[in-house]
Amino acid sequence: MNGAPSLRVLMLSKACIVGIYQRKLELIAAGGVELLTLVPPSWRDEHGETVLERVYTAGYRLETLPIARSGDYHLHYYPDLGGRIRAFQPHIVHIDEEPYNAAAWQALYHARRVRAKTLFFSWQNLYRRYPPPFSWGERYVLNHADAAICGTESAAEVWRAKGFARSIAVIPQFGTEPELFTPAPRSERPFTIGYFGRMVEEKGVGVLLEAFALLDGQPRLILLGGGTLRDPLRRRAAQLGIADRVEWRDPVASTAMPAQYHDIDALALPSLTRPNWKEQFGRVLVEAMLSGVPVVGSDSGAIPDVIGAAGLIVPEGDSAALAAALRRLRDEAGLVDTLVKRGLARARDRFTHERVAAETLAVYRALMEPGTE
């Protein structure tokens, strides 16, 4: 920052326990920020426990903070947060949480006590009304936060509609590392489709199984992830007569994910919109594009905006349309070449850690401009 005193930023982020997400933090710190990122030692929910990975840790402080009610998205909080904020005396507190949860309210309260600027992050792309105390806490955040970052424009529209009148920047929460996710030569193998993510109803894995059953020949399907529907989905694969061509993989460390893309020829994300959820981003789409893997997604939520013209979009819940798109990715080499080139260009231009960090730094600097309320 051209010799200027370092800008002190404290970021509270349970998401940053994932190692490959931490590259953004290194790049923010390299932009002239004294960065302290506080994370829980782990996050425990219905899918299991995710323990802190230390992967990208140069140039900033990544420290753990005891968490209460781990796994409770709405009511988790950090008993020692106030003391850590007072000790660090940040200029900005970056609350990497939705404004309707207790950790966000807590962080905002303590940040205001040290007169720090504040911003929150949101993926929430549905206009939802919450009962007290969540509605009260949400209103407190909307009334007092100095800025917001939203992962998509549709999320930003929600908070504008709810009355947040201050600056909202549209920036994905995390980017992807082009040096980590890279294309690999195609191996000689049967056409292999991948789904990497949670095994839950809204992700549409059942639709993918039905589409896969409609494909002729001997394609293969890799399903990587955990969740409440994993066993029912196994039974569904058996009912469809495809169990011998479906490989089930357990979740792996974030640093092991790049190799998973080298095992597939197409990635599918067939998400289903529900009254309380629609796809908020679809990070696997970007990872696949950087890996030289063509993608097909449903038209749920943010998926069409993430893919753009770099993949195929099908109506959500339509297994026949999904099968037809997968068939094209198997049979039309020219189409695949075009989509791979578009995907690489789109991901490198829009969704890298470098770009996300630069845009986040711009938000910080705007907050510290003289006269900023």
Task: Identify the pLDDT of residue 54.
Answer: 96
pLDDT of residue 48: 76
The pLDDT value recorded for residue 5 is 46
Measured CA angle at 43 (ends 221, 33), to 5 deg: 105
The pLDDT score that the predictor gives to residue 216 is 95
C-alpha span between 25 and 35 (Å, rounded): 8
- How far is residue 270's CA from residue 205's CA, in Å, rounded to a whole number? 7
Query: In this predicted structure, what is the pLDDT of residue 373?
Result: 57
pLDDT band at 4 (very low <50, low <70, confident <90, very high): very low
Q: How far apart are the first and last CA of the chain?
A: 22
Which range among 58-67, 181-190, 350-359 shows the weakest confidence by mean pLDDT? 181-190
Q: Which strands sit side by side in the sheet containing 33-39, from one edge to the other?
A: 61-64, 33-39, 7-12, 92-95, 117-122, 147-150, 167-170
What is the CATH architecture of 192-350?
3-Layer(aba) Sandwich (3.40)
**Predicted pLDDT of residue 371:** 66
Average pLDDT over residues 87-103: 97
Q: Report the percent of the chain where pLDDT is more than 90.
A: 92
Q: Which tens digit of pLDDT belongs to each residue from 172-215?
A: 999 999 999 999 988 889 999 999 999 999 999 999 999 999 99
**Which of these, 110, 268, 103, lies nearest to 192 by C-alpha position?**
268
CB atoms within 10 A of CB 231: 10
237 against 372, higher pLDDT: 237
For residues 102 and 78, what is the distance between their CA atoms, to the nearest angstrom?
A: 9
The answer on pLDDT for 13 being more than 90 is yes
Domains of the chain: which residue ranges? 7-175+352-367, 192-350
User: What is the sign of the dihedral through the CA atoms of 316, 320, 321 and 324?
Assistant: positive
If you average pLDDT over residues 90-116, what whole number do you get? 98
Distance of CA 59 to the CA centre of its chain: 23
pLDDT score of 346 more than 70 = yes
The mean per-residue pLDDT over the stretch 357-372 comes to 92
Q: How far, in Å, CA of 368 to CA of 117, rounded?
A: 8
**In contact, 270 and 212? CB cutoff 8 Å:** no
For the structural domain made of 7-175+352-367, what CATH number should be given? Answer: 3.40.50.2000
